Amino acid sequence: MRIIHTSDWHLGQYFYGKSRANEHQQFLTWLLAQVTLHNIDAIIVAGDIFDTSTPPSYAREMYFDFIAKLHVTQCQLIILAGNHDSVAMLSESQAVLASLSTRVITQVIPASLSEDELEEKALSKQVFPLHDADGKTTAIICAIPFVRPRDVIRSRAGQSASDKQQSLQQAISDHYQYLYQQARKQADAFEKTEGIALPIIATGHLTALGVSINDSKSDSVRDIYIGSLEAFPASAFPPADYIALGHIHRAQQVAKSEHIRYCGSPIALSFDEAKQDKRVLMVEFTSGKLNQVEALIVPCFQPLYMVKTSVDELETSLQETLVAFEERQVAEKFPASVKAWLDIEIDNGDHLSDLSQRVTELAVDMPFEVLLVRRCKKARQRRQAQLSQQDNSTLSELSLTEVFDSRLSQLEWQTDEEVARKTRLTQLFTELSVEMKQAASIANQKSDADKALITSSSAQAESTSQSALSEEESTEAEKDSVITEKDSAIAEKDSMTPESLEQHNS
Ligand SMILES: [Mn+2]
């Protein structure tokens, strides 16, 4: 019995203006070849099939196309939803894909079901046998996708953050134990009647304790249990023969256990993953036990380089990268059309617009595409520290615009997307200020009796602008807190408006 464990495909990823379609297609073609080459009985994809909840059509087509081709080989496919996947979107095709040897598991069975309901219908969605090409049962799987907290717990009023974390961890652990017990029963019953021991395979999409901090903080790995569960202890997993995990993009064993593993993503999804050997894991079971795990290294289809340098050493660094890339061009036989993608991190220099131009000029004849020029984290932090040192004025000394500008200047506005966002925010802010000024000047001419009305219309203008801002918020969770802070700064300044109106009037 042989399976391939893979995860975190992130089909449809949009990467600093670039599509990953070509790489993903080549990976899927390669994966199909491995299935035939190694006689694989099943492929398990442990979450994050797609990069977003609304993947582009080409990505969906790629997914369906792969399923149709795999079906011909008689290899089973088990698809688990990850935190990036949309439960609704993956569920749409669940029934039709079932006829193509594919099981799609998007959600855990609700804990609220009665024992009877569980046994009757729900359980078989997550605990079921795997079989080989001849249809013989070869393993039992506990197929567990990304567990959304609301699926397993009800938060109670007055629960502290650590209580919540504890109850979520307990609920996930209970879910694993419960499914494992059910799988154990099925495996034991099978052994009794057929005389064949079956391995039990569990899956998961979460951060397990013992994963390197750097890996869970990679640019492309999103925190999943924000403010609640940080990492799931390996000891809380049931004693399955193999636990196929997804979510962390670098392949690794969990808690030094041979049988609890992340296979990592098959392509580098951020520049900080560029140096990792990407792989899928071929897992072999004999006599109902784990026999061996072998890494099948995925060829690199698109070389990425993170170039960390300074303004002075920029030219040298580009030359060095060129030499390194030329060596790889030969060794890995990249087609001549493949250019390396570069992320240039500079540890000094304030004016990024000048730097970008300089980089473009230097790299003009090189087989590079520069996707990103940025100051390194340290330089950004230094700059921020400088800014906040200079800016020791208090809120009451500043005008509304100054507060807004100062807040904006603390953020990075480098990519086209970010610059466009800054423009949008500034526009909204300007509109809001104009409306407020108009309201104030009208109020000057009106009697006290009208005042309340005007204040409420100004508040309305503000809430309109704020809802535009909150629309922005949802586009990027990371910047949520920043926007909220700015909102409250606006609200704070705004709360003085009625008073100043009164002053004007008196
Ligand atoms: Mn992922």
Q: Which CATH superfamily is domain 2-297 in?
A: Metallo-dependent phosphatases (3.60.21.10)
Span from the CA of 127 to the centroid of ligand 1 (angstroms): 24
Span from the CA of 93 to the centroid of ligand 1 (angstroms): 21
Burial category of 424 from C-beta neighbours within 10 Å (exposed 0-12, middle 13-18, buried 19 and up): middle
Span from the CA of 220 to the centroid of ligand 1 (angstroms): 7
What is the residue extent of each domain of the chain? Answer: 2-297, 305-380, 398-505
Span from the CA of 221 to the centroid of ligand 1 (angstroms): 6
Residues with CB under 5 A from ligand 1 (ion): 8, 48
Span from the CA of 233 to the centroid of ligand 1 (angstroms): 19
Span from the CA of 211 to the centroid of ligand 1 (angstroms): 14
Span from the CA of 430 to the centroid of ligand 1 (angstroms): 38
Span from the CA of 303 to the centroid of ligand 1 (angstroms): 20
Span from the CA of 51 to the centroid of ligand 1 (angstroms): 8
Residues 305-380, CATH architecture: 2-Layer Sandwich (3.30)
Span from the CA of 239 to the centroid of ligand 1 (angstroms): 25
Digitized pLDDT (tens) for each residue of the chain, 506 residues in all: 999 999 999 999 999 999 999 999 999 999 999 999 999 999 999 999 999 999 999 999 999 999 999 999 999 999 999 999 999 999 999 999 999 999 999 999 877 777 777 777 778 899 999 999 888 999 999 999 999 888 887 766 777 777 878 888 899 999 999 999 999 999 999 999 999 999 999 999 998 887 765 666 667 776 655 444 568 888 999 999 999 999 999 999 998 899 999 999 999 999 999 999 999 999 999 999 999 999 999 999 999 999 999 888 899 999 999 999 999 999 999 998 999 999 999 887 656 667 888 888 888 899 999 998 888 777 667 666 666 665 556 666 667 777 788 788 777 777 777 888 888 888 888 888 888 877 777 766 654 444 444 444 444 444 444 443 333 333 333 333 333 333 333 333 433 333 333 333 33
Supply the DSSP string of 133-175, one letter for each residue: TTS-EEEEEE------HHHH--PPTT--HHHHHHHHHHHHHHH
CB 348 within 8 A of CB 377: no
Span from the CA of 260 to the centroid of ligand 1 (angstroms): 17
Kindly calculate the radius of gyration of the chain based on its CA atoms and give it in whole angstroms.
28
